[in-house]
Amino acid sequence: MKKKDIFTPGMFRRLLVPSLFSSVGLAFANMADAVVVGRRMGTVGLAAISLCLPFYMILNVFMHGLGIGGSARYACLLGEGRPKEAVACFNRIMRTGVFLGLLLAIFFHLFLGPLLRFFGAASADPAVYAAGRSYLRIVAGGAPLFFISYQLRYFLCSDGSERLAGVGFLLGSMANVLAGLLFVMYFNWEIRGAAWATLLGVAVSILCYLPGILPSGNGDRKLLRICFPSFRAGEVFACFKTGAVTSSQYVFQMVFLLIANNVLIRMAGEEGVAVFDIVQNASYLILYLYEGTAKAMQPLLCTFHGERNEKAADRTLMLGCRSGFVAGGFMAVLVAAFPDAICRLFGMESAALIALGSRALRLFCLSSVFAGIGMLLETYYQSVEEERSAFALACLRGWVVLLPCTVLFSFTSLRYFFWLYPVCESISLSVFLLWRNRMRKGVADFDHNRVFSATIQGENEDITGLAEEIGNFCGQWDAQPRQVYFVMMAVEEICMSIVAKNRQKARNATLQITLIALAEGAFELHLRDNTEIFNPFSLHSARAGEQSGFDMDALGVTIVKQQAKDYFYRNYQGFNSLVVRI
């Protein structure tokens, strides 16, 4: 009996909850500096932090580019049953990240003054410039720590350790907030205390992530681990190219920050930049929830794309959009309802500034609906390797629409400048959807008629019927009779062994089968089930005729094991996943 897909929603939920917790933690961590500094130093501290934001954008281009692209390749390689290549990719990306972090730390220390002036501090009050210099010197020195922390988090999520990644990130964020309160408010280190608190939070996250890659005390060998493969510049560049579709937005965001900071300094001085910084920090509360949803989608989308399971990938997008709208929309309504309280939280006391900040916050909340849709669609297209669409959307949101509109709104007053947010996001999304609808589809790189998929109840008659359907499918792609027989045998024997193992359990087994007819003539079988942790290829049987140890189920699986070109098992997101090539 054919069954509906129970795997995609279950896997998505397991990824979504820790990812949203991490996003909330990240939002509070990013806001912590501005909150404590704003309450201690007022608009001077807020303006100084805003002027240093381009540093984080430069960092994010490489940090997220390598992390997103590397973890996406890692998930795809595991989905294709190539664990050794996946682990090697992880180590190459991590080494590259540490090296780039060191280079950036040295570069910022050598050219700290000129870079600050380039960021817009030259036109600021001397007190703002001095505060920005103190802050930037400390956080730039910790650039390698940022690379290690964020890249580890991406890979842990793709490896199925999303709970560890979420807990580590949340604990690091809490450490950042508490240390900020202690260093800034109690020790009176002012903006230097906020910088040191940021690095302490990153270090705490790294310590929490280490159990995910280091050997456990009982000697178990983890899949995600440290090793020293030879460096492959081509693979690293390919990963960065994939991740750059998303991380390139930080280049555009840096340009936007440079223009906006300089415009607002001239338009209203440090107070205008302070209002802008409040909007930027409040945006984390909303957009990071959409981003957290997107990060929950990404490893599943990459896995399903590796399996050529289009239906599961589309359902993941649907679940992501629904969850993103609920979480992000709720937070947007909350911010729009209490903008005055948020302005006061950041240390604003002037009634005129609070009124201006409240108006700006409400305008941003309006724009967040369009921004959230764009973020989710961008992640989807990137994960299923439709890089053209992902890049087009990133460019529209990042600079094609944003930068001209920023220049245009710079000729208005401070009261109207923040209409920039809803205007840009709505135009960007509308243009993309029109382009996507009218775009002439290119030649597909894969014929999806080569994919057979089904989800069945674990009953013997269902398995037998499925094997016959698979035999007919193999015949359509000119498989030799012997190959057809072994593909049918693989499906039947593996499924039967899973059902037999689960027979004593109360719940029924549900199995999801995807079979791909590869271009080179081989067949790739992906099998997922909801039973207890069990690798069918771990079964052993004595020879027929021997008095003990003979197991018919194990004997059939052993024959399949011998005939298979290769195979790979893992328990991923609570379900058994097996890849077999025949």
| Confidence grade of residue 196 (pLDDT, cut at 50, 70, 90) | very high
**Into how many domains does the chain fold?**
2
Whether residue 2 is contained in a domain is answered as no
pLDDT of residue 420: 94
Spatial CA neighbour of 379 closest among 367, 361, 397: 397
DSSP secondary structure code for residue 444 in this structure: -
pLDDT at 8 > cutoff 80 = yes
DSSP 381-410: HHHTT-HHHHHHHHHIIIIITHHHHHHHHT
Measure CA 41 to chain center.
35
Q: State whether 398 and 420 are in the same domain.
A: yes
The whole-number average pLDDT for the span 424-431 is 95
Domain boundary residue, one of 414, 438, 462 = 438
> For the packed helices 7-41 and 162-180, what is the interaxial angle rounded to 10 degrees?
10
> For the packed helices 7-41 and 310-337, what is the interaxial angle rounded to 10 degrees?
30
Whether residue 443 is contained in a domain is answered as no
Residue written as token pair 């942790």: 533
Q: State whether 433 and 458 are in the same domain.
A: no
Q: State whether 287 and 351 are in the same domain.
A: yes
Q: What is the pLDDT of residues 51-85, one digit of tens each?
A: 898 999 999 999 999 999 999 899 888 877 888 99
Whether residue 417 is contained in a domain is answered as yes
Instruction: Mark residue 12 as left, alpha or beta (left: phi above 0; alpha: psi -120 to 50; beta: remaining).
Output: alpha
Q: State whether 77 and 156 are in the same domain.
A: yes
Residue written as token pair 């910022």: 108
Lowest mean pLDDT among 127-141, 239-253, 438-452: 438-452
pLDDT of residue 220: 53
pLDDT of residue 463: 83
| Confidence grade of residue 544 (pLDDT, cut at 50, 70, 90) | very low
Q: State whether 34 and 131 are in the same domain.
A: yes
pLDDT of residue 141: 95
Q: State whether 403 and 452 are in the same domain.
A: no
Please enumerate in sequence order all residues whose Cβ is within 8 A of that of 153, keeping only pairs 6 or more positions apart, or say none. 22, 67, 165, 168, 169, 205, 209
Domain boundary residue, one of 406, 438, 470 = 438
CATH of residue 543's domain is: 3.30.565.10
pLDDT of residue 216: 65
Over 546-568, what HEC string results? CCCCCCHHHHHHHHHHHHCCEEE
Q: State whether 212 and 341 are in the same domain.
A: yes
Distance CA 123, CA 263 (A): 10
Q: Which residues of 298-326 are buried (b: 16+ CB within 10 A; e: fewer)?
A: bbbbbbbbbbbbeebbebbbebbbebbbe
pLDDT at 306 > cutoff 90 = no
Q: State whether 384 and 515 are in the same domain.
A: no
What order do you get walking across the sheet with 575-581 strand by strand?
Answer: 451-457, 510-517, 523-529, 575-581, 566-572
Model confidence, pTM: 0.79
In terms of residue numbers, what domain contains 467?
Answer: 448-581
User: Amino acid letter at 130?
Assistant: A
Whether residue 566 is contained in a domain is answered as yes
Q: State whether 434 and 476 are in the same domain.
A: no
pLDDT of residue 505: 56
Whether residue 11 is contained in a domain is answered as yes
Distance CA 90, CA 83 (A): 11
pLDDT at 295 > cutoff 60 = yes
pLDDT at 543 > cutoff 70 = no
Q: State whether 145 and 272 are in the same domain.
A: yes
Distance CA 332, CA 353 (A): 21
Distance CA 324, CA 318 (A): 10
Q: State whether 411 and 512 are in the same domain.
A: no
Whether residue 49 is contained in a domain is answered as yes
pLDDT of residue 217: 56
DSSP secondary structure code for residue 2 in this structure: B
Spatial CA neighbour of 367 closest among 416, 434, 420, 289: 420
| Confidence grade of residue 457 (pLDDT, cut at 50, 70, 90) | confident
| Confidence grade of residue 542 (pLDDT, cut at 50, 70, 90) | very low
Distance CA 257, CA 278 (A): 13
DSSP secondary structure code for residue 214 in this structure: S
Whether residue 550 is contained in a domain is answered as yes
| Confidence grade of residue 547 (pLDDT, cut at 50, 70, 90) | very low
Q: State whether 20 and 73 are in the same domain.
A: yes
Whether residue 199 contacts residue 138, with contact meaning beta carbons closer than 8 Å, is answered with yes
Instruction: Mark residue 478 as left, alpha or beta (left: phi above 0; alpha: psi -120 to 50; beta: remaining).
Output: left
The whole-number average pLDDT for the span 170-198 is 91
Domain boundary residue, one of 380, 414, 438 = 438
Whether residue 1 is contained in a domain is answered as no
